[in-house]
Every structure is written in C-alpha cells, then in structure tokens.
Amino acid sequence: MDLFNSALGKNITFVHPEYFIISGLSGIPNIKHYYLFLFFVYIVSVLGNTAVMAVIYLDHNLRTPKYVAVFNLAFVDLFGNSALVPKVLDVFLFNHHRIPYNDCLTYLFFCYTCLSMQSFNLVALSYDRLVAIIFPLHYQVKVTHRLMLSMIASFWVFVIIAVLIAVGLITRLSICESVVVNSYFCDHGQIYRLSCNDHFPNYVLSCLYPLLLFWLPLVFILVSYLYIGCTLAKVATFQQGLKAFKTCIGHLSLVAIYFIPLLITFTLMEKIHPNARIINLSLTSVFPPMLNPIIYVLQTQEIKESLKRLLKIRGKSKITMKKMTTM
C-alpha cells in the first residue's frame, strides 16, 4: 500500500487510526442465538465443501471442465466462510471489537474477494450449461480444461485487482470522524464514510463495483438461460426440453440462493431497520457457501454416483483389512 500512496505524492500524509471498532451486531436482542446459528452454518459449510472438493479430487471420472468450476466454487465457499465467520464470532461473541487498521483492510480484502468470486463462478457454470444444451455435439471442443482454467484464472485476477484498488483507495483516506464501523465486518462503504477528506473516488467505486461484480454476472446468467429457454422451445419437444432443463436445476438453485437475497436486501435497504439489514447481509454472505455443496450433492447425479463408488471402495478396503488381520 506504500507504493499506492507514494504514487499520489510524497508530501501527502493521511491520518490512519490505530484500530477500527466493529459494532454492527451489538445491542441486538437475543443475538447470541444468532452466533450459535452462524457457528452451525460454518461447520456445515466446512464439512460440505471439503467433501465436494475431496470427491472431485479422488474420482477421476469427475475431472471434467464443469467440475473444475465446481471445485473452485467449493474452494471459494470454504475460504470465504473461513475468512468471515470465525472473525465475526471472535468480534461479537468474545467482545474483541477492536481490529487493528491493517488487519481490518486485510479482512476486507479476503471477504470481498471471496464474495465476488462466487458470482463469477456461477458465470463459469452458466457458460458450461449454455454450451452443453445449445451445442451438445461441440461441447468437448468448446468447453475444455484449458478454457475453464483460463476463465477461472481471469476471474480471480480481475476480482483481486478490483478489490486491491478499493483497499488502496481506503489507505488514502484520513479517518477522523469516528473509528466505529456499523457492520458485521470491515465494510468498504462504512469505512470510507468515516473519512474527513475527499472520498469521492471511494463513492464512485462503491457504485461501480456492485455493477461489475454482481449485476453484470447476473445479467449474463439470466440472458444465457433466456437463450436456452428460447432455443429449447423452438427445436425440442416438451419432454426433451424438460429433460435438458433438469440438468440446470442445481445451477439455477445456486443462482437463486446467491442473488435473490441480495436483490431483496438492496431493493428494500431504505425500508428495513439497520439491524435487520445487517443480519440479512450477513446471512447472504454465509448461507450460499453452506447450501451450495448440499445442492450439488442432491441435484447432481455424477456426484451421488461418485460418493457411492468411493464409499463402496472404502467399505471393501476395510473388509480386506479385517480379513488380513484375522489370518
């Protein structure tokens, strides 16, 4: 960040506080029950996403471009919830509300990076479904490991650069209004409003980023499914179209649980109580990573069959080991 600030001018100095105080969930009645719920959500998320990653890694039948994207989504979900939930519990459950300045910016970087990568992962999966249904005969050519890896790597680079710019712009702010952040984590929007110097670039960024990192991916996904629906209506019978669309149910479920709460929260932001808004946003952050692996295990036939094969192999190996020990 020193390089970022030096580019603005060597003689410019900014007032950085020693720490921020995270206060978003303080003072809400019966909030400790919510912390227990967050802990449960986190445990389920860790177990579920670790299981999905392990199944894809162990089963060579799942080494396809689609499951490269699924593996990355599970990794992002696991990493994102691990970056967010333990710190939230530490801050509010154990009253460690003070977070050092640099730690707060690091916290912001990892949370925003993982939240943004979730939407771009859904874009990669929607592209896979689009090609699989519209161009089934050309799927092996159009969706390759190299293409999927390049797409995901490009998304990572884009998101990391975008979030680094946001963090860099925060370092050029003089924080002198307050050090209290009214959110459940180190939120960019809450932090830049605490500054007493010009924060117009941060404001522009806060308006631009939701468009680039959330709404544009959503538009791409909706347009791809609109195209799929129109194509199936023209060239397929109802039964064929229904069979093809069933392969999209898992992905559509992920899109719904990720984007619908965001749409509701941001649409009703001015009409709901600040405490309700903070809880809604926190649920939006932690719920999809918990539900994604459950949906993929229940809705994806390949993963269910892979789990059965792996469990059979493990069961046979245990029986073999018992026979060897009894001989």
**What Å distances lie between residue 147 and 20, 130, 298, CA to CA?**
42, 15, 27
The set of residues, in sequence order, having a beta carbon less than 8 Å from that of 99 and lying 6+ positions away, is 19, 20, 21, 22, 91, 107, 186
pLDDT number for residue 8: 46
Q: How far is Cα 71 from Cα 155, in angstroms, rounded to an integer?
A: 15
Contact 262, 284 (CB under 8 A): yes
Contact 98, 20 (CB under 8 A): yes
Q: How far is Cα 139 from Cα 130, in angstroms, rounded to an integer?
A: 10
Count how many Cα atoms sit within 13 Å of the Cα of residue 184 in the half-sphere of its side chain: 27
Going 207 to 212 to 214 to 220, the CA torsion angle's sign is positive
Sheet holding 180-181, edge to edge: 98-100, 19-22, 180-181
pLDDT per residue rounded down to tens, the chain (327 residues) = 444 444 444 556 788 999 999 998 887 878 888 999 999 999 999 999 999 999 999 888 888 999 999 999 999 999 999 999 999 999 998 889 999 999 999 999 999 999 999 999 999 999 999 999 999 889 999 999 999 999 999 999 999 999 999 999 999 999 988 999 999 999 999 999 999 999 999 999 999 998 999 999 999 999 999 999 888 888 767 787 777 778 788 888 889 989 988 887 777 666 777 777 888 888 888 999 999 888 877 677 777 788 777 777 655 555 455 455 555
| DSSP code for 60 | G
Q: Which of 266, 94, 285, 254 is nearest to 185 (CA)?
A: 285
**What Å distances lie between residue 297 and 144, 165, 244, CA to CA?**
23, 37, 19
**What Å distances lie between residue 99 and 107, 181, 271, CA to CA?**
9, 10, 30
Q: Does domain 2-322 have CATH number 1.20.1070.10?
A: yes
Q: How far is Cα 249 from Cα 110, in angstroms, rounded to an integer?
A: 30
pTM above 0.95, yes or no: no
Characterize 104-126 residue by residue with b for buried, 16 or more Cβ atoms within 10 angstroms of its Cβ, and e for exposed: bbebbbbbbbbbbbbbbbbbbbb
Q: How far is Cα 295 from Cα 254, in angstroms, rounded to an integer?
A: 8
Contact 8, 172 (CB under 8 A): yes
| Mutual angle of helices 65-93 and 101-134, in 10-degree steps | 150
Q: What are the residue ranges of helices labelled H in the chain? A: 2-6, 31-58, 65-93, 101-134, 139-142, 145-171, 188-192, 200-210, 216-235, 238-246, 249-267, 274-299, 301-326
Contact 80, 284 (CB under 8 A): no
Contact 126, 226 (CB under 8 A): no
pLDDT number for residue 96: 92
